[in-house]
Amino acid sequence: MKKRTILPGLMMATLTTLLIACGGGGSAPAGPPSAGGAPPTSAGGTGKNTSGLLTAADIALGDIDQAKAEKGRSTYDVKCQACHSTGANRVVGPGWKGITERRQPEWIMNMILNIDVMLETDPEAQKGLEECLVRMPNQGLSKEEGREVLEYMRTL
- Report which of residues 41 and 129 the model is more confident about: 129
**Confidence bin at 6 (pLDDT 50/70/90):** low
Predicted confidence (pLDDT) per residue in 106-135, tens digit: 999 999 999 999 999 999 999 999 988 889
- Report which of residues 28 and 89 the model is more confident about: 89
pTM greater than 0.85 (yes/no): no
CATH topology classification for 2-154 = Cytochrome Bc1 Complex; Chain D, domain 2 (1.10.760)
**Confidence bin at 147 (pLDDT 50/70/90):** very high
Q: Does residue 98 register a pLDDT over 70?
A: yes
Report the pLDDT averaged over residues 56-67. Answer: 94
Contacts 24+ apart (CB under 8 A), 55-64: 55/106, 56/104, 56/105, 56/106, 58/106, 58/109, 59/105, 59/106, 59/109, 59/147, 59/150, 61/105, 61/154, 64/151, 64/154, 64/155
What are the domain boundaries of the chain? 2-154
Average pLDDT score, the chain: 78
